[in-house]
Amino acid sequence: MQSVTIRDVAARAGVSVATASRVLSGHPATSADSRHRVDEAARELGFRLNAQARSLRKTRTNTIGVLVSDVRNPFFAEIAHTVEQSALAASMATLLCNANESTDQQDLCLDLLVSQRVDGMIVAPQGDGSGSLRDVLTLGMPVVFVDRTIDGVDVPSVTSDNRAGIADAARHLAELGHRRIGYVAGPQETSTGRERLLAYRDAVAEHGFDTDPHLVHQGDFQVASGVEGAELLLGLDEPPTAILAADSLMTFGVLQVCQDRGVRIGSELSLVGYDDIGTFRLVSPALTVIAHDPARMGALAVEMIRDVLAGETVTSAVLPTTLVVRGSTGAPDPRRIA
């Protein structure tokens, strides 16, 4: 890993380092002659610009940090992918971190990103605005929230319309005749978890659904809590006729339990999932889901962070959700309606 520096290039080209630097970074004030000679020399020596040195001098690293909770979640994988691609198109690198739904690890990651002096961050945040997140913001670090926000923290964000999503799903279930609807909630440390739960509660009130507190299971956006929730809900003396799960991983968990117990989805039990993961089309019956658009979210987030970096003011965006009705929802099981 010996390094060819710009000095070597300059020497070989017979020019000063200043000229070499100007040529290599596309500065206009260079003659055709030196441009040619420097390019040639750089090629011959296999010169690779040292981004560390450049970053130190300029105060831009051309790198953005991406903090999501877990790339193994297809929703965040999609976001991470589009963010990386959009950034690459602007020849920026992306530093990826997973917080694993843990505030401690989120802090760890944020500290890492600050120390790496990323130009900006795209964050799916968690917790209240305390800890490293507060530090990051008071530092003046450009941040854009994606998918989630934090109450009282004024940061541009691109989210989706969680309340509308749940409301649509609830209306759909109401129209089918359901009155007793189980809900596997997301962690209340996240804005999405909170908003969706609130929307569920509103729907319960609006449609006059059963208000039995046992119908809500507090999960954590992980598969295991979906399993747990499903077992509890299905184990109730009077089980729900439909279940709504607040994210894709918990939906998987619910599906798994239904599979294992031989619960026939669509007839015995209606199920609505959150996030339109490709595989939700493939299970049978295909899943009715509240879909949103992580790719668009990611792309928009990059656009926003670039705008912030360019000094422009940006406004938050709330993307619509769509209810995709498939076979997993149907009229409630007549035996259960009583």
Partner DNA sequence: AACCTCCGTGTAATCGGTTCCATGGAATCG
Partner DNA sequence: CGATTCCATGGAACCGATTACACGGAGGTT
Per CB under 8 A, does 244 bind a second copy?
no
Binding partner selected for residue 72 from DNA, a second copy, none, CB under the kind-specific 5 to 8 Å limit: a second copy
Residue 209: name its binding partner from DNA, a second copy, none (Cβ under 5 to 8 Å by kind): none
Whether 102 contacts 73, CB under 8 Å: no
Q: Does 11 bind DNA (CB under 7 A)?
A: no
Q: Give me the 40-69 binding string for DNA, x by CB under 7 A, dash otherwise.
A: -------xxxx--xx-xxx-----------
Can you tell me which of 18, 88, 198, 224 binds a second copy, judged by CB under 8 A?
88
Contact stretch for a second copy (CB under 8 A) within 70-78, 169-177, 184-192, 205-213: 70-78
Binds DNA (CB under 7 A): choice among 30, 159, 251, 328: 30
Which of DNA, a second copy, none is residue 322 near (CB under 5 to 8 Å by kind)? none
Task: Tell me if 18 contacts DNA by CB under 7 A.
Answer: yes
**What does the block give as tokens for 212?**
């039995």
Verify binding: residue 310, DNA, rule CB under 7 A: no
Under the binding rule (CB under 8 A), the answer on residue 135 touching a second copy is yes
Among 16, 188, 259, 279, binds DNA (CB under 7 A): 16
Verify binding: residue 309, DNA, rule CB under 7 A: no
- Number of chain residues interacting with DNA (CB under 7 A): 30
Q: Is 310 among the residues that bind a second copy (CB under 8 A)?
A: no
By CB under 8 A, tell whether 109 contacts a second copy: yes
* Interacting residues with a second copy (CB under 8 A): 1-3, 46, 48-53, 55-56, 59, 61, 63, 66, 70-72, 74, 77-78, 80-81, 84-85, 88, 91, 93-98, 100, 105, 108-109, 111-117, 135, 139-141, 223, 252, 255-256, 259, 277-279, 281-284, 286
